[in-house]
C-alpha cells in the first residue's frame, strides 16, 4: 500500500493543498527515486536531499524503486518545502514510520536537519481558515510564524529524527504555543520637529497620512523633500491587526520574517532599480517593492529618474491596489495598496520656479524632464505640492517645530473617523473609496459644488481628478472633525490637485 500524506504548494500568496503518495516496488532491480507530478527544479532536486537526509539521520534507504507522486498531477508544485513530506512518506511506505494523518512542510539539509521555508504563515493561516484537523509539522526555524496562528494541531521540529520519534510516539513533544500576531509599532526614529518651517508641506503630508493619499513633492535641490518624506513613517498610524496580517503574509512569502518587531512598511527603492525589483516578476515571479510597500509607503525619490516602464507600470497598483506579475504560462496577482510619495526637481538643473536662483535648462529640457511623469500617472496622485526653499530667517529661527507625535495624534483621530465610517466595507480610508460609493459617502453643499465646477472648467480636470478632490476634501474635513464637508475643505483640496496646472 502506498503511503499518503498531505502537503501544500504555495504560488504567490495562494496556497493549494496537494497530496504526496509514496510507493515502493521492492522487486525492482533499479534502486532509485522517481518524482512525478509536475514538480519544479527544487522539487526534482528534492530526491537527492531526501536520500542523504534519511541516510544521515540513521535510516536505511529502502531497496527497490521508490515512486513519489504529487497529486493533482496537472498542478505545478513549487519549492523545497516538499522535502519533508517526501521523506516522511518514504519512511511510512518502508514501514519505519507509523501511518498517520500529518501535513508536513520543510526543506531538508543533507545531514537531516529541517530548514526554514517561505510562506509558512500564509500556509498556516490558510489551514486554520479551512479548519484543518490533522497534525501539522513545520520547521522549528519558522517557529515565530507558527506561533502566530491559532486553531491547528501544530508541531515544530529541527530534525527529521525528531519527526520520526514524534510520530512513532517514542518521545512526547509539546505542540507549538499560540502567541498571536505581534502588535504593529510606531516608527519614531526621525521626527518632524527637526524640519524648520515648511508649513505647507507638513500640512500636505499630514492630510496624506490621514487619508492614505498619494503625494508628489516638487522643489529645488536642498529644499527638504527627502528630509520630509523620510519622516512620514513617524506620523502614520500603527497598522491594524488585519493590515499587519496582510503585511506579514507578504514578508513570509519573501522570507523577511527576521524581526520580532513590526512597523508599517516604508520602502524607498533607488531609481536605478530594475522593473522586476520594483513591480515584481522574474523567473520565480517574486513580489516587488510595490507589494513590499503594501499598507505602507512607497517613496520614490528623484521620481523622473526611474525607468519609464517602471513609472508606467505603477498605474495598475495605483488604481487597483494590486499588481499582476507575469511569468511563463501564468500570472500571479499580489496585493499592492501603498501610499505613493514621490519627490522630484522641477527641471534637470533643479532651479526652475525658484525666485532666487537661475535655471540653466532650455524649455525643451524642462518639458522632457516633466514628461517622464505621464498624464495618467499624475492623474493618480492626489496631492501635488511645491516645496519651497526655507527662508533665511526660518533657518535660524529658534522656534520649535511641531513634533511628529502631535501630528500623528491628529492623523489617528481622522483615521478613526474613517474606520467607523467604512466599517463593513473592504477598505478603510478615504483615498480608497471607490467611484461607485463616492456619492453615497460624499455630498457637497451648493457653494462647494460651485467652486469645484469652476475649478473643473478652469483646469480642465479629468473625472478621476474630480473624484480625487472629493476624497481629499473628505479627509480634510475629517482632520477638522467636521461631519459636513465645508467650502474651505474643498478649496484646500482643489489647491493640492491643481498645482501641476499652474
Ligand X SMILES: Nc1ncnc2c1ncn2[C@@H]1O[C@H](COP(=O)(O)OP(=O)(O)OP(=O)(O)O)[C@@H](O)[C@H]1O
CB contact at 8 A, 205 and 215: yes
Q: Does 498 bind Mg ion (CB under 5 A)?
A: no
Closest CA to 87 of 63, 105, 65: 105
Torsion, CA 150, CA 152, CA 156, CA 161, rounded to 10: 170
Which one, 34 or 189, has the nearer CB to ligand X?
189
487-497 vs 446-459: helix axis angle to the nearest 10?
20
Which one, 46 or 234, has the nearer CB to ligand X?
234
Nearest approach, Cβ of 431 to Mg ion (angstroms)?
Answer: 24
- Near ligand X in 2-31, by CB under 6 A: none
Element (H, E) at 495: helix 487-497
Partner whose footprint covers residue 218, from Mg ion, ligand X, none (CB < 5 to 8 Å by kind): none
Mind giving me the DSSP string for 98-160? ----EEE--EE-TTSBEEP-TTHHHHHHHHHHTT--SEEEEEGGGHHHHTT--SSEEEEESBH
Partner whose footprint covers residue 281, from Mg ion, ligand X, none (CB < 5 to 8 Å by kind): none
Which one, 222 or 375, has the nearer CB to ligand X?
222
Segment contacting ligand X by CB under 6 A, of 8-16, 75-83, 220-228, 352-360:
220-228
* Cα of 246 vs its chain's centroid, Å: 7
- Near ligand X in 378-397, by CB under 6 A: 390
Element (H, E) at 248: helix 241-254
85: left (phi over 0), alpha (psi -120 to 50) or beta: alpha
Segment contacting ligand X by CB under 6 A, of 56-64, 123-131, 189-197, 481-489:
189-197
The x, y and z cell numbers of residue 254, run together, are 519573501
Query: With the C-alpha atoms ordered 479, 482, 488, 490, is the resulting torsion angle positive or negative?
Result: positive
| Site map 219..258 versus Mg ion, x via CB under 5 A | -------x--------------------------------
The residues, any chain, with a CB within 8 Å of residue 239's CB and separated by 6 or more, are 184, 247, 262, 264, 295
Nearest approach, Cβ of 421 to ligand X (angstroms)?
Answer: 34
Task: With CB under 6 A as the rule, give the number of residues binding ligand X.
Answer: 15
Q: Does 224 bind ligand X (CB under 6 A)?
A: yes
Q: Give the burial class of 487: count Cβ atoms within 10 A of its Cβ; 0-12 exposed, 13-18 middle, 19 or more buried.
A: middle
Nearest approach, Cβ of 57 to ligand X (angstroms)?
Answer: 56
Segment contacting ligand X by CB under 6 A, of 82-90, 133-141, 225-233, 261-269:
225-233
Nearest approach, Cβ of 264 to Mg ion (angstroms)?
Answer: 22
Which one, 112 or 224, has the nearer CB to Mg ion?
224
Which of 221, 255, 282, 375 touches ligand X by CB under 6 A?
221
Give the integer Cα–Cα distance in Å for 238 and 245: 13
Nearest approach, Cβ of 229 to ligand X (angstroms)?
Answer: 8
CB contact at 8 A, 163 and 88: yes
Q: Does 222 bind ligand X (CB under 6 A)?
A: yes
Which one, 181 or 273, has the nearer CB to ligand X?
273
Partner whose footprint covers residue 151, from ligand X, Mg ion, none (CB < 5 to 8 Å by kind): none
Q: Does 488 bind Mg ion (CB under 5 A)?
A: no
- Near ligand X in 190-219, by CB under 6 A: 195-198, 219
Give the integer Cα–Cα distance in Å for 93 and 105: 18
CB contact at 8 A, 250 and 261: no
Partner whose footprint covers residue 76, from Mg ion, ligand X, none (CB < 5 to 8 Å by kind): none
- In this structure, what are the phi and psi dihedrals at residue 167, rounded to the nearest 5 degrees? -65, -40
Partner whose footprint covers residue 197, from Mg ion, ligand X, none (CB < 5 to 8 Å by kind): ligand X
Partner whose footprint covers residue 198, from Mg ion, ligand X, none (CB < 5 to 8 Å by kind): ligand X
CB contact at 8 A, 319 and 381: no
Question: Which residue's beta carbon is nearest to the bound ligand X?
Answer: 224
| Site map 298..337 versus ligand X, x via CB under 6 A | ----------------------------------------
Segment contacting Mg ion by CB under 5 A, of 34-42, 218-226, 273-281, 282-290:
218-226
Can you tell me which residue has the cell 521540529?
A: 157
H, E, C per residue of 203-241: HHHHHHHHHCCCEEEEECCCCCHHHHHHCHHHHCCCCCH
- Near ligand X in 338-367, by CB under 6 A: 345, 350
Residues engaged in binding Mg ion (CB under 5 A): 226
Which positions touch ligand X (CB under 6 A)? 195-198, 219, 221-227, 345, 350, 390
Amino acid at each position: 500500500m502506498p503511503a499518503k500524506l498531505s502537503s501544500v504548494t504555495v504560488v504567490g500568496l495562494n496556497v493549494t493543498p496537494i497530496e504526496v503518495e509514496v510507493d515502493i516496488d521492492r522487486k525492482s532491480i533499479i534502486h532509485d527515486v522517481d518524482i512525478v507530478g509536475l514538480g519544479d527544479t527544487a522539487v526534482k532536486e528534492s530526491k537527492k536531499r531526501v536520500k542523504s537526509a534519511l541516510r544521515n539521520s540513521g535510516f536505511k534507504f529502502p531497496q527497490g524503486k521508490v515512486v513519489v507522486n504529487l497529486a493533482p498531477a496537472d498542478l505545478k508544485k513549487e519549492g523545497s518545502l516538499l522535502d519533508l513530506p517526501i521523506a516522511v512518506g518514504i519512511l511510512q511506505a518502508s514501514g519505519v514510520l507509523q501511518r498517520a494523518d500529518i501535513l508536513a512542510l520543510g526543506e531538508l539539509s543533507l545531514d537531516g536537519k529541517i530548514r526554514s521555508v517561505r510562506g509558512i504563515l500564509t500556509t498556516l493561516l490558510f489551514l486554520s481558515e479551512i479548519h484543518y484537523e490533522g497534525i501539522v509539522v513545520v520547521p522549528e526555524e519558522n517557529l515565530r510564524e507558527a506561533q502566530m496562528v491559532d486553531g491547528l494541531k501544530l508541531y515544530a521540529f529541527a530534525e527529521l529524527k525528531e519527526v520520526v520519534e514524534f510520530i512513532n510516539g517514542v518521545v512526547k513533544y509539546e505542540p507549538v504555543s499560540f502567541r498571536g500576531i505581534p502588535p504593529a509599532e510606531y516608527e519614531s526614529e526621525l521626527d518632524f520637529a527637526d524640519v524648520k518651517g515648511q508649513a505647507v508641506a507638513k500640512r500636505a503630508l499630514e492630510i496624506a497620512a490621514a487619508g492614505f493619499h498619494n503625494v508628489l513633492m516638487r522643489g529645488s535641490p536642498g529644499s527638504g523633500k527627502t528630509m520630509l518624506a523620510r519622516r512620514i513613517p513617524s506620523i502614520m498610524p500603527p497598522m491594524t491587526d488585519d493590515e499587519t496580517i496582510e503585511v506579514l503574509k507578504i514578508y513570509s512569502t519573501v522570507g523577511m520574517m527576521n524581526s520580532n518587531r513590526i512597523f508599517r512598511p516604508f520602502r524607498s527603492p533607488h531609481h536605478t532599480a530594475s522593473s522586476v525589483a520594483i513591480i515584481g516578476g522574474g523567473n520565480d515571479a517574486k513580489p516587488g517593492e510595490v507589494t513590499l510597500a503594501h499598507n505602507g509607503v512607497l517613496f520614490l525619490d528623484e521620481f523622473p529618474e526611474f525607468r519609464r516602464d517602471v513609472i508606467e507600470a505603477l498605474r495598475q497598483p495605483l488604481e487597483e491596489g494590486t499588481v499582476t506579475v507575469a511569468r511563463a504560462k501564468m500570472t500571479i496577482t499580489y496585493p499592492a495598496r501603498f501610499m505613493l510619495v514621490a519627490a522630484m526637481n522641477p527641471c534637470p538643473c533643479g532651479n526652475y520656479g525658484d525666485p532666487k536662483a537661475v535655471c540653466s535648462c532650455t524649455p525643451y529640457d524642462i518639458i522632457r524632464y516633466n514628461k517622464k511623469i505621464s498624464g495618467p500617472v499624475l492623474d493618480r496622485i492626489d496631492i501635488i505640492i511645491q516645496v519651497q526653499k526655507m527662508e533665511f530667517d526660518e533657518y535660524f529661527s529658534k522656534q520649535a517645530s511641531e513634533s511628529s507625535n502631535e501630528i500623528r495624534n491628529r492623523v489617528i483621530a481622522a483615521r478613526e473617523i474613517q474606520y467607523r465610517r467604512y466599517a463593513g466595507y473592504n477598505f478603510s480610508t478615504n483615498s480608497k473609496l471607490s467611484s461607485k460609493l463616492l456619492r453615497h459617502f460624499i455630498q457637497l453643499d451648493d457653494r462647494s459644488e460651485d467652486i469645484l465646477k469652476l475649478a473643473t472648467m478652469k483646469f480642465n480636470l479629468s473625472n478621476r481628478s474630480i473624484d480625487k478632490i472629493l476624497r481629499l476634501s473628505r479627509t480634510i474635513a475629517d482632520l477638522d472633525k467636521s461631519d459636513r464637508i465645508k467650502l474651505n475643505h474643498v478649496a484646500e483640496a482643489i489647491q493640492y490637485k491643481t498645482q501641476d496646472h499652474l
